Structure 1
């Protein structure tokens, strides 16, 4: 539930930043929004690049849809993916 709320918030942030490109806000806020957009694109791109770099050759390649979701939702998509990965692994036995 929390992950879905985070995804919704990320969509609203993207919408707010993209709206600034179409209809720029007044002068001081306009520049802040442009910097925030550049920062968000760089951070989400870096996150996607690091995810791709950490995958082993044994793991399946990431689909384009998943890569797009990681770029859009960032850490929230990564948390959902991590939760899915943990659910797939069998529980560890005691040694």
Structure 2
């Protein structure tokens, strides 16, 4: 439930940042949003590169999963990690 709320929040953030490219905000805010968009692309890209470098060659990540991790960031990584780790019962 909260993961889906985080995904929705991330989509709203992406939408807000990309809206500045098509309809720029007033001058001081425009520069801040441009820097925030650059930072977001770099951080999500770095997150994806680091994840791909730690994966074994036998089980690569699909393109669809890579796209979801780039867009949703840590929220998608939490879901992905939960699916990857086996459930341990006591």
- TM-score, normalised with respect to structure 1: 0.89
Task: Tell me the equivalent position of 1:56.
Answer: 56
RMSD: 1.3
**Count, aligned residues:** 90
- Return the index of the structure with the highest Cα Rg: 1
Question: Larger relative CO (CA 8 A, sep 6+): 1 or 2?
Answer: 1
Structure 2 segments unaligned to the other structure (5+ residues): none
Q: What is the deviation of 1:67? A: 0.4
Task: Give the corresponding residue for 2:75.
Answer: 76
Q: How does 1:26-37 map to 2 (within 5 A)?
A: 26-37=26-37
> Can you give the 5+ residue segments of structure 1 that lack an aligned partner in the other structure?
none
Identify the match of residue 88 of structure 2 among 80, 91, 95: 91
Partner SS state of residue 24, structure 1:
coil
